Every structure is written in structure tokens, then in C-alpha cells.
Amino acid sequence: AQSVTQPDIHITVSEGASLELRCNYSYGATPYLFWYVQSPGQGLQLLLKYFSGDTLVQGIKGFEAEFKRSQSSFNLRKPSVHWSDAAEYFCAVYNQGGKLIFGQGTELSVKP
Amino acid sequence: DAGITQSPRYKITETGRQVTLMCHQTWSHSYMFWYRQDLGHGLRLIYYSAAADITDKGEVPDGYVVSRSKTENFPLTLESATRSQTSVYFCASSVRLAGGPPDYEQYFGPGTRLTVT
């Protein structure tokens, strides 16, 4: 069965430091992968998505993610974190029938 | 450009009562979804709909009922609320494109925080 694992429940980084959030997926075919961000008290917003082609995907707010088939990973990165990036981040994989399967989420805290 | 809206945003109800959460989207998206978000579980799919009058169960459908008589509305009903249904509920919609790579991006509403006492 398809699944998504985000190994880190909570991460704290200093403002200005680099960030990498991990995501591993289990999917038989070529996956369609997504990263969403949820700010406190709000719904989810799409950061970026991967369907095919270039394995390095650029998203909004300066985020990028790299698809690595050999590692079944789709890690999210940002070179320099801002305090406004504090939020919860969800990785998701497309499942049949138009559905998404979400990971459990990683909560990001940013230290001043 | 209203997008996708949910009402109410906050609801407190008692065990055993019927509660309906509303979801409305202005894009005429064919797909609509209901999720619940709980600590430690991320988002779990309750029900989804591929079009008007077509609905199907997700991962955690027990205790919930949905309908979709119009493309733009997708209400979720808790027929007899239980404390385990205390959660934040999100509605989402997406486009299903005919031909070419599908666009599975889902657009989320702001959520409804439901407390069952």
C-alpha cells in the first residue's frame, strides 16, 4: 500500500540557517509528490509538486525539493529560514482515484 | 475570488447530536474531499467525491455521511457525534483534467474546529 513517512515530528532551526525536511514514500509506480505548508490556524497551501522531469523542483517562498528515486525520498529544503517559515509541513503522494496520502507532518520552529 | 469556504469555523456540540459541516467552492472543481486532522495522525481522508452525486469512502468514514447534489457544495454530517470526532476538519477540492498529466493539486479550506463534549 502507498504510504508517506516524515521521520521528524518537530524540528527547530535558527533564523538564517538552512533547512531540510525529510520525506520518504512507498509507491509502486512513478509517484506524484507534493509538499504542503500549514500556518497556525489555517488550511494547507501547496509549496511545490513533482510529477516528472527535472528531479529538483522549485516552489514558492524560496523552497525546493529533490526527488530521489533510489532513496524513495522527496526532501524539502530552504537555504535560509525566516521566522515566518514556522509552520507545519506535510509531504503527500498521489494515490489512485484523485486522492492524496499525507505524511504525519513536521512542525518547524524558528529560533531568533 | 472566494475559493473554498467552510462553515462554521468553530463548533461545540454535545455527544449524540447531529452536526453538519459545510463546504463550498467557487471554482467548479470536480473533486472534493473531507479530511480530519488529529495530533499524531496528520490528515486522514474521510470521504471524497469525484463529481456531483458520486461519493466514496476514504480511510476513516465511520460515523460520517456526505452528499453532493451540487458540484460546488460538499456537506459532511456527523449523524450522532462522539467525543472521538473532536478534531479539525478540512475540506479540499481539485481539478481533474481530461488528457495530459493530471493536476492533483488540492486546494484547502480554512478548516472547522469541532469539539464534542
Tens digit of pLDDT for each residue in A20-69? 999 999 877 778 899 999 998 888 999 999 988 888 999 999 999 999 99
| Cα distance between residue B18 and residue B25, in whole Å | 23
Q: How far apart are CA A49 and CA A34, in angstroms?
A: 4
State whether residue B3 sits within 8 Å of chain A by CB.
Answer: no
pLDDT at A49: 92
Write b or e for each residue in B7-29: b if 16 or more Cβ atoms lie within 10 A of its Cβ, otherwise e: eeeebebeeeeebebebbbeeeb
Mean of per-residue pLDDT scores for chain A: 92
Shortest alpha-carbon distance between residue B26 and chain A (Å):
17
A76 — pLDDT class (breaks 50, 70, 90): very high
- Strands B112-116 and B87-94 turn out to be antiparallel
The answer to whether the beta carbons of residues B32 and B91 sit under 8 Å apart is yes
Look at B26 and A28; give whichever has higher pLDDT: B26
Residue range B21-34: mean pLDDT, rounded: 93
The verdict on B79 touching A (C-beta cutoff 8 Å) is no
Nearest-Cα distance to chain A for B32, in Å, is 10
Contact criterion met (CB < 8 Å) for B40 and A104: yes
pLDDT of residue B40: 78
Three-state DSSP state, B25: strand
% of chain B at pLDDT higher than 90: 75
Mean predicted confidence (pLDDT) in A5-19: 96
Rounded CA gap, A40 and A42, in Å? 6
E strands in A51-105? 56-58, 64-68, 73-78, 87-95, 99-102
Q: Mean pLDDT, to the nearest integer, of B72-81?
A: 97
Residue B95 touches chain A, beta carbons under 8 Å: no
Is B2 part of the contact surface with chain A (CB cutoff 8 Å)? no
Residue B104: list chain A partners with CB under 8 A: 32, 34, 49, 94, 98, 100
Residue A77 has what pLDDT?
A: 98
B86 touches chain A (CB under 8 A): no
Selected for mutation to probe chain A from B105, B107, B112, B113 (highest A CB count within 10 Å) is B105
Closest to A98 in 3D by CA, of B60, B90, B53, B105:
B105
pLDDT at B113: 96
Distance CA B43, CA B35 (A): 6
Length of chain B: 117
Place B95 in a pLDDT band, splitting at 50, 70 and 90: confident
Q: Are B10 and B112 in contact (CB under 8 A)?
A: yes
Residue numbers in A near B107 (CB within 8 A): 46
Question: What pLDDT shows up at residue A60?
Answer: 95
Which of A15-19, B2-6, B49-53 has the largest mean confidence? A15-19
Q: Is the pLDDT confidence value at B101 over 60?
A: no
Residue B111 binned pLDDT confidence (cut-offs 50, 70, 90): very high
Q: Which band of pLDDT confidence, cut at 50, 70 and 90, is reported for residue B2?
A: low
> Would you state the pLDDT for residue B74?
98
Rounded to whole angstroms, the Cα distance separating A9 from B101 reads 32
Distance from the B98 Cα atom to the nearest Cα atom in chain A, whole angstroms: 13
The predicted model gives B71-87 an average pLDDT of 97
